[in-house]
Amino acid sequence: MAEYSLETKPSKSLRKRLTERGPMVLYGILFAACLAVGIGFHFQQWSSQVPLSTTLFLLYSAVTTVGFGSLWLFLRRYYRLRQDSPAKTLWSLLITGFILISLAAITSRIGRIDAPGLDLGLGFDLNTGIALTFPTIVKMVVISVLLILFAFLLLNRFQGLVLVKRSKTSQRNWNVMLFSMTLTAALTLMNTPGAGQSQWQNMALAVSVVFMVVNSFRLSWIVFLSFKEKLATIGLCLVFATFLILAFGIAQFSSDLFVIGGSGFLQHFFVPLATFVEQASLFGILYCSTAFLSLLFHLPTSGDYEQRAGERATMHSLAHLVGQVFDAETLFATIASAPVEAGSADASWLVMPDPSSGSLRHHVVSSHNISPDRISELVDSALLVDEMTAQGDPLIIREAPADHRLNVRPGDQMGSLLVVPLIARDELIGALFASKAVVSGFERDDVETISIFAAQASVAIDNARLFEQQVEKERLARELSIAREVQRKLLPQSVPQLPGLSMAASSISAQEVGGDYYDFVQLENDRYGVIIGDVSGKGTSAAFYMAEMRGIFQSVSRLAATPSIFLHHANMALAQTLDRNVFISAIYMIVDLKNETLDIARAGHCPAAAVRLSGESRFLRTKGLGLGLDRGDLFLKSLEEERINLEPGDVFVLYTDGVVESRNPEGEEFGYDRLLVTIDENRHEDADGIHSAVLSDLKNFMGNEVYDDDMTLVVLKWHGLPLEALSPPVQSMEESK
């Protein structure tokens, strides 16, 4: 892999370099060729000492234009992808310019005779404008190329500055300026060197100056400079402008300081180029001047700007940080300290209502650089939060010692105070207080910065709460599923198999846990107890009483001779623990297999359905109060008991109200009649058959409705006892454990 990349990398970059450099090489060759041809024209002119014919002059103009056009394209391509800092751009341009101008200056001084008081001219025929000597041509060409190169460089480098944060308009303005500069230059094509400019040419020049000014105000890059960079750039601009003024001069006042006769040589070389260079230098001077002035004005605010930017950056990173914290204490501390950490305040604190204490009054949950006691001494936070809520905006107190709402005296290190709300999902969850030692310490952008932070902090707090709730919810779900398992074990795991008696039972809870109960117990002398119970209400509290009911049943049932006695004991036991608004309805039956009897007592429970083989059906509605309704004698007094002599085919169905009160989608209840009919229709089945018939009937009836109550169903069927079966019982619940 590594070797492969080693092999491919050079070839790839070579190809890239070729495609990038290819046109540049072409431009270079084109420029050199055109320059050589141009020199040829001048040489021809010199050797003949006759000005070129119009045709030849136009040809020369075309060749020179193409040549320097290539040079422009060459530079443009070279600088296209450069992304230098403004200071570096100016700096490198200054150095390059200095070198180029120096070279031109030296060249201009070679072979020159300085005679005070005598102007020997530049070495051109004053009438024809033709070079007098061959070295003059060389001098002219060298100086011109150096000056033009510098002008082109200047424009190309400044383009990078002007087009920082470019828009369509700025790009267009720049192009228009270049175009008008070129046009102005082209208009001077037929001018003789040194001649003045016509009205048209001046007008064209005015147009390009207008666009130069427009482009000179594109100074966006200044904003991004630091204070030090600004200082350095100011110096550079000043030096550069001075340099340009001295080197090129304004209207040639000082043009001979560096390059003697620079402009003259250029004009003799090619007038339009001279005009172009002049404009370029003018633009350079303009741009440097505006940059210098602009920097000068920006300098005083630069420090403030940097401080603000620093505060904002800190706030931003803190806002990011609070998004990562889920622990409430840490989160509050981080939020409370943020305004101070960011340098926007001298002290800050966070207030929130405390839901655990049930109070909606805001109190300090975390503070920074000030103690909670000190805060309550100086400020009534809750009152200010109310005021802020009332006005619906951050509350700014400019002069804290003078504000009647505060208990602040001068010298308390609290000159001004800012209160911003913390709002999550349209609800005020708290407020962030920031104070400064000085009065009027909070400006508009301080308020904005802290408000934005507060908004982020609110989201973070809200997230942390949701996270906590989620954890709590999962914990509860886990607890409930454990409770469900425990409760399932409180119900019989299987139904006892008894001779002559078939039984079936089931219980469904609407929630994880419920208050329904059923159980079986083996008593002495082939007697069996069957109980069904229903704790009022649903859910967890019902489940606890159900468990208690089971405890009572398991311990008391064997001692109670009759159902009434058991229920009486159960009522006594429950009276001590049941809440006043809770009661338990129950039915207790004792089946005597030997004597073929069934004793039943009902404590407020839905009456058991009894169906005989003949189809005779009824509810066993003996009198009796629910367990826990009366804690005195009334319960026992009210309780009736019925004895039924069992006949083969007798069916008894015990159920809880969830069965008869189940509703279909139309809201109709299953009801007692439907239950009795279903049992009657299936009375020839055994207990299992009847049990599943009732359940499926109920399911059909309910359709898509969900169970909203606990439902328990216990079915007993007496088949009659074969004589030989009156042996020891097969198996009971107790033994199966």
Partner 1 sequence: MSNFSVGFRTSGSVQILDLHGELDAHTAAELEAAIQKCQQENQVRILINGSDLLYISSAGLGVFMAYIEEVRESGGDIKIAALQAKVFNVFDLLGFPMLFDIMESEEEAVEKFSEAKAE
Smallest gap from residue 667 Cβ to partner 1 (A): 9
Q: Specify the length of the chain in residues.
A: 737
Smallest gap from residue 615 Cβ to partner 1 (A): 24
Residue 222 in tokens: 């200044």
**Among 311, 384, 324, which Cα is nearest to 349's?**
384
Nearer to partner 1, 671 or 729 (CB): 671
Give the Cβ contact number of residue 364 at 10 Å: 21
Residue 94 in tokens: 């200054």
Nearer to partner 1, 287 or 583 (CB): 583
Q: How many whole angstroms separate alpha carbon 140 and alpha carbon 129? A: 12
SS3 538: coil
Angle at 71 between CA 66 and CA 76, to 5 degrees: 120
Smallest gap from residue 561 Cβ to partner 1 (A): 23
Q: How many whole angstroms separate alpha carbon 247 and alpha carbon 245? A: 6
Smallest gap from residue 476 Cβ to partner 1 (A): 18
**Among 151, 163, 27, which Cα is nearest to 83's?**
163
SS3 669: strand
Place of tokens 């920082």: 164
Nearer to partner 1, 17 or 621 (CB): 621
Nearer to partner 1, 264 or 514 (CB): 514
Smallest gap from residue 537 Cβ to partner 1 (A): 4
Nearer to partner 1, 516 or 526 (CB): 516
Q: How many whole angstroms separate alpha carbon 458 and alpha carbon 463? A: 8
Residue 717 in tokens: 């069927």
Nearer to partner 1, 148 or 609 (CB): 609
Residue 52 CA: distances (Å) to CA of 41, 60, 61, 338: 8, 9, 11, 80
Smallest gap from residue 535 Cβ to partner 1 (A): 8
Nearer to partner 1, 336 or 587 (CB): 587
Nearer to partner 1, 249 or 624 (CB): 624
Smallest gap from residue 555 Cβ to partner 1 (A): 25
Considering only CA atoms, give the Rg of the chain.
52
**Among 102, 344, 93, 126, which Cα is nearest to 239's?**
93
Could you tell me which residues are beta bridge partners of residue 731? 497
Residue spans of alpha helices (H) in 535-645: 539-556, 563-575, 634-638
Nearer to partner 1, 621 or 684 (CB): 621
Nearer to partner 1, 368 or 538 (CB): 538
φ/ψ region of 686 (left if φ > 0, alpha if ψ in -120 to 50, else beta) reads beta
Q: How many whole angstroms separate alpha carbon 402 and alpha carbon 398? A: 9
SS3 584: strand
Nearer to partner 1, 315 or 659 (CB): 659
Which residues of this protein are in contact with partner 1, per CB under 8 A?
Answer: 534-539, 579-583, 585, 604-607, 621, 623-626, 629-630, 634, 638, 657, 661, 669, 709
Smallest gap from residue 701 Cβ to partner 1 (A): 17
- Cα end-to-end span (Å), the chain: 70
Nearer to partner 1, 478 or 637 (CB): 637
Helices 134-162 and 86-109, axial angle in degrees (round to 10): 170
Q: Amino acid identity of 305?
A: Y
Give strand ranges (E) for 169-321: none
Smallest gap from residue 621 Cβ to partner 1 (A): 8
Smallest gap from residue 640 Cβ to partner 1 (A): 11
Return the DSSP state at 325.
Answer: -
Smallest gap from residue 604 Cβ to partner 1 (A): 4
In sequence order, which residues have a C-beta less than 8 Å from that of residue 497 and are 6 or more positions away?
730, 731
Q: Amino acid identity of 235?
A: G
Q: Within 13 A of 2's CA, how many CA atoms are on the CB side?
A: 0
Smallest gap from residue 436 Cβ to partner 1 (A): 50
Smallest gap from residue 600 Cβ to partner 1 (A): 15
Nearer to partner 1, 232 or 677 (CB): 677
**Among 655, 664, 565, which Cα is nearest to 619's?**
655
Nearer to partner 1, 384 or 606 (CB): 606
In sequence order, which residues have a C-beta less than 8 Å from that of residue 33 and are 6 or more positions away?
67
Smallest gap from residue 605 Cβ to partner 1 (A): 7
Residue 275 phi/psi, 5-degree rounding, is: -65, -40
Q: How many whole angstroms separate alpha carbon 398 and alpha carbon 416? A: 5
Nearer to partner 1, 534 or 548 (CB): 534
Smallest gap from residue 545 Cβ to partner 1 (A): 12
